[in-house]
A and B are shown apart, each in its own frame.
Chain A
Amino acid sequence: MQSESARMSSAAEARYRIDAPNSKPRSVKVIALDHPSERVIKDLAQRKWNNASFFTASAFGGTPKQGESFAGWLSDLAGRTKNLIEEVNGADLVVMVAAAGESAQAASIIGEACSVKRVMTTALVLGGQSISDEALSKTLSHLRPWALMLVIASAEEYIADMLTALRA
């Protein structure tokens, strides 16, 4: 007699897999950390997404000064200031996008907010192939402490592929 594993892993049995949604939409916040990546994010925002929203932190620097509020530190793509903590609070995943060689200092403030709120972070570095190792290392040094997943991609199109793969 055929074993259960043999029977159940057949193509014929695949027809009986339950065809119902097995996940709820995730909230993904995509944040450009610098001007070059802001341009990429703006293009990306034109596409249709399930529950992804796009922001920029390019106007902001690194850690806030003593007593400075964390409330701002984020803009939407129309330039309106957004509350970082509120945005992070409602996120399942925060994706930080940086251009290789640019300062990614804003990663620390975003990463800290995510750390406090226990939100998963991914950092994506674009164009890592085209700059010196030293310049890339500088960008990475700002991202690494705050990114639980770090990707260095040569093609801008990777962000769209990644967000699609993650059902963003």
Chain B
Amino acid sequence: MLRKEQNDLLTRTGPGTPMGQMFRLSWQPALLAEELPENECPPVRVKLLGERLLAWRDTQGRYALTDEFCAHRGVSLWFGRNELNGLRCPYHGWKYDHTGQCTEVPSEPSESGFCQKIKLKSYPLVERGGVLWTYMGPPEKQPPLPEWEFALVPASHSFMSKRLQESNWLQAMEGGIDSSHVSFLHSGELNSDPLFKGSKGNAYNMADMKPVFEVVESPGGLYIGARRNAENGNYYWRVTQYVMPAFTMIPPRADHPVHGHFWVPIDDENCWAWSFDYKVTRPLSEKERKAMEAGQGIHVSYVPSTYIPAANKTNDYLVDRKAQKEGRTYSGVFGIAMQDASLQESMGPIVDRTKENLVSTDNGIIMARHRLLRALKAMEKGDTPPGIVAEHQHVRSAAVVLPPDKHFKDAAKEALVVQTGKEHVTV
């Protein structure tokens, strides 16, 4: 459990909140590059960390992320005309450039310089790895661009999707580090999903339903090791990475692409679940890419022309009680992502953590909260929160078989950091 004030502290991310400040100090995925496919394309509404913004791309291809509303009368610039290096409000013709600077106020004499006095709030927006990233913190603290491995491999080697999740970011993120639910909730998928099946690790997973967990602090967050029995007295370890505030990486299975998530607050009651898959040394196969596009693995299929999952709360997640009874899915909901999301959304927009009854195997979650709270306290004193420097981003998850006397953090030390030109260590 958390005290109410702690829960509020961790779940509120709007402007001026401590947790919001932590998010604002690092680059966050704002939208997919495919959402702004060409110069002068239609603008896209973006809500992030409780701020209504507009993403657009000008005549020269420069990305912009500006206040959504015109400074004149508060009209949404989503209706704006994207023309000649600027976005023009269709109401009275005020025009803004990609930095939010007003460049024309037609009703005022151009010699007056009035437009120079008008500037919309704007944030940098840069493309990396098929994602448009933004930094919403103070300019003087802007860190170098993100160095997550998936964003640095060739485009042919990776796949990124996003989906709307109608819950606070923290309950979504906590699902990403809750390794003990996999053997239950996702048990149907381990042997059927094309992006999971066929791994020897799956057999270990299903043969030992009571894994033993080890939670170890890492420089950027946590390693969460789940230990299961393997042959000859050895242990099968699955090591999940958590990097503060909202990056999680699932341990790989066989030669399948490795996957992970960012859990980015839209506002306090909604978040974007960003899901990536990648390989280091080879392009994704056509079959893999098609499966991802079809919503398999950790991805979803969508309501057409949206990033809203096709199975969602408005249709009871298409729950299939017959499939549940027959064991084809454990919960009756199909697909790993929506199995998680359906349960996390059912908790309510912001779960009341004063009522929960955590158990010992929830120590990964307890430690993540502890580290976030500790980082917030340190931030008050001027410290930089973890997760911002490149070293904290050069991480990998791993799946390894180790002798019983070996500690995964040492024995798999190399496997837990990026090894240029080498694939993830996996079973």
Q: Is the CB of B410 within 8 A of A137?
A: yes
Residues of B within 8 A of A152 (CB): 214-217, 409
Chain A 103-130, CB within 8 Å of chain B: the 1/0 string?
Answer: 0000000000000000011100000110
Q: Tell me whether A9 and B346 are in contact in the complex, defined as CB-CB below 8 angstroms, given that A151-B214, A165-B366, A167-B1 are known contacts.
A: yes
Among A6, A13, A150, A165, point to the contact of B1 (Cβ < 8 A).
A165
The closest CB in chain B to the CB of A147 belongs to B212
Shortest beta-carbon distance from B74 to chain A in Å: 26
Residues of B within 8 A of A120 (CB): 359-360
Chain B 254-276, CB within 8 Å of chain A: the 1/0 string?
Answer: 00000000000000010000000
Chain A CB within 10 Å — which of B3, B215, B349 has the most? B215
Residues of B within 8 A of A57 (CB): none
A69 within 8 A of partner (CB): no
Shortest beta-carbon distance from B314 to chain A in Å: 5
Chain B CB within 10 Å — which of A121, A129, A153, A165 has the most? A165
A91 within 8 A of partner (CB): no
Q: Is the CB of B366 within 8 A of A162?
A: yes
In the assembled complex, the Cα of A136 lies from the Cα of B409 at a distance in Å of 11
In the assembled complex, the Cα of A128 lies from the Cα of B408 at a distance in Å of 14
Q: Tell me whether A9 and B345 are in contact in the complex, defined as CB-CB below 8 angstroms, given that A136-B407, A149-B361 are known contacts.
A: yes
Shortest beta-carbon distance from A103 to chain B in Å: 15
Q: Tell me whether A165 and B358 are in contact in the complex, defined as CB-CB below 8 angstroms, given that A9-B349, A17-B352 are known contacts.
A: yes
**A residues 137-162 in Cβ contact with B at 8 Å:** 137, 140-141, 144, 147-155, 157-158, 161-162
In the assembled complex, the Cα of A110 lies from the Cα of B215 at a distance in Å of 21
Residues of B within 8 A of A8 (CB): 346
Q: Is the CB of A11 within 8 A of B214?
A: no
B113 within 8 A of partner (CB): no
A66 within 8 A of partner (CB): no
Shortest beta-carbon distance from A59 to chain B in Å: 26
Among A3, A22, A166, point to the contact of B316 (Cβ < 8 A).
A3
Residues of A within 8 A of B406 (CB): 137
Residues of B within 8 A of A144 (CB): 404
Q: Is the CB of A141 within 8 A of B166?
A: no
Residues of B within 8 A of A155 (CB): 370, 374
A86 within 8 A of partner (CB): no
A89 within 8 A of partner (CB): no
Residues of A within 8 A of B313 (CB): 3, 5-6, 9
Residues of B within 8 A of A162 (CB): 363, 366-367, 370
Residues of A within 8 A of B269 (CB): 11
Name B's interface SS. Answer: mixed
B355 within 8 A of partner (CB): yes
Shortest beta-carbon distance from B389 to chain A in Å: 17
Among A6, A141, A158, A161, point to the contact of B405 (Cβ < 8 A).
A141
Q: Is the CB of A14 within 8 A of B348?
A: yes
A10 within 8 A of partner (CB): yes
In the assembled complex, the Cα of A157 lies from the Cα of B317 at a distance in Å of 41
Q: Is the CB of B316 within 8 A of A5?
A: yes
Residues of B within 8 A of A5 (CB): 313-314, 316-317, 342, 345-346
In the assembled complex, the Cα of A130 lies from the Cα of B295 at a distance in Å of 45
B81 within 8 A of partner (CB): no
Q: Is the CB of B314 within 8 A of A22?
A: no
Residues of A within 8 A of B213 (CB): 149-150
A51 within 8 A of partner (CB): no
**A residues 1-47 in Cβ contact with B at 8 Å:** 2-6, 8-11, 13-14, 17, 22-23
Q: Is the CB of B314 within 8 A of A165?
A: no
Q: Is the CB of B355 within 8 A of A4?
A: no
In the assembled complex, the Cα of A17 lies from the Cα of B346 at a distance in Å of 12
Residues of B within 8 A of A10 (CB): 348-349
The closest CB in chain A to the CB of B2 belongs to A165
Q: Is the CB of A137 within 8 A of B357?
A: no
Shortest beta-carbon distance from A13 to chain B in Å: 7
Q: Is the CB of B360 within 8 A of A122?
A: yes
Chain B 365-402, CB within 8 Å of chain A: the 1/0 string?
Answer: 01101100110000000000000000000000000000
A74 within 8 A of partner (CB): no
Q: Is the CB of B166 within 8 A of A9?
A: yes
Residues of A within 8 A of B293 (CB): none
Q: Is the CB of A13 within 8 A of B212?
A: no
Q: A-contacting residues of B (Cβ < 8 Å)?
A: 1-3, 166, 212-217, 269, 313-317, 342, 345-350, 352, 355, 357-363, 366-367, 369-370, 373-374, 404-407, 409-410
Between A and B, 28 residue pairs with Cβ closer than 8 Å are A2-B314, A3-B316, A5-B317, A6-B314, A8-B346, A9-B345, A9-B348, A9-B349, A11-B269, A22-B355, A23-B357, A93-B360, A122-B360, A122-B363, A133-B409, A133-B410, A136-B407, A149-B361, A149-B363, A152-B214, A152-B217, A153-B367, A158-B370, A161-B366, A162-B370, A165-B2, A165-B358, A166-B366
Q: B-contacting residues of A (Cβ < 8 Å)?
A: 2-6, 8-11, 13-14, 17, 22-23, 93, 120-122, 128-129, 133, 136-137, 140-141, 144, 147-155, 157-158, 161-162, 164-167
Which A-B residue pairs are the 9 nearest by beta carbons? A5-B313, A6-B313, A149-B360, A150-B214, A133-B410, A165-B366, A14-B348, A152-B216, A161-B370
- For the complex with contacts A9-B345, A93-B360, A149-B213, 18 further pairs of A-B residues with Cβ separation under 8 Å are A5-B317, A5-B345, A5-B346, A8-B346, A14-B352, A137-B405, A147-B212, A149-B214, A150-B212, A152-B215, A153-B217, A158-B367, A158-B370, A161-B369, A162-B366, A162-B367, A165-B1, A166-B358
